[in-house]
Amino acid sequence: MTNSGPVSAVNAIVDGPVLEVTLNRPKANAIDAATSRELSAVFARFRDDPALRVAIFTAAGDRFFSAGWDLNAAAAGEEFEADYGEGGFGGFGELPGLRKPVICAVNGMAVGGGFEIVLAADLVVAVEGSRFWLPEASLGIVADSASVRLPRMLPPVVANEVLYAGRRIDAAEALRWGLVNAVVGSDQLLAEARALAERVVQAAPLSVAAVIEIGARTGHLPLPDAFEFLRSGNLDSYEAMLASEDSEEGPRAFAEGRSPRWQGC
């Protein structure tokens, strides 16, 4: 592994096709607008680098994954709707054109915007002591992206209790609701996330991009409309996958009893 730059609030390390991003803002890994813009720049480079296949997003320390929006910055005058960068708050949840998976490795409490970052991830591993909640309504603001995502992920009454009644979800409950893929001990967190990343890397890159695009573009549609859109020719990643050499390489490798050699084209 090699560090991509000097130590800062956002540390990015490349390990082959995997980018590991660590948020490091003691004591609670809260995120101000400048840090969010830095994260956006890191994830934009991840999006645009064809050699990178999957990102792992974690945080330093063993108590907070992220306390969300930096309220000290807010008290100093930073506005709730500040410029958080191309990818929105946390760097990747609203990043245009991102067709690569992000794995969140949650090392502690994910509060407010920290929870929203987790909800934006494609895959999530959490330590046993993790907790998730949204205090925004009690602060006179709204967890806006969570208000969009969470009702699609939880039963409405549960989502409502989290969004405006302050319900806290621990790691075990998050696993039951399908908000995380696995709950592990703190000493296993990064190993589990890296193992999950390796499984993603074994898949064809164009196939992964196509699945992500299909979900993003059709998830809100009724089933007949989703299938109609799928066949419309308007899904670039899906069409690229269908026309790719990799779509022939996979069946050929299976028939020959060998591992496929993906070209990404």
Active site (catalytic) residues: 116, 136
Taking alpha carbons only, the member of 92, 85, 140 closest to residue 112 is 140
Q: Could you tell me the sign of the dihedral formed by the alpha carbons of 207, 59, 146, 179, in that order?
A: positive
Q: Indicate the angle between helix axes 156-165 and 144-153, nearest 10 degrees.
A: 150
Scan for tokens 């409502």, then name that residue.
160
Q: From CA 146, how far away is CA 143, in angstroms rounded? A: 5
Q: What CA dihedral angle connects 74, 75, 78 and 79, to 10 degrees?
A: 70
| Distance of alpha carbon 45 from alpha carbon 224, whole angstroms | 36
Helices assigned H by DSSP within 86-204: 113-120, 144-153, 156-165, 171-176, 189-202
Distance separating alpha carbons of residues 18 and 51, to the nearest angstrom: 9
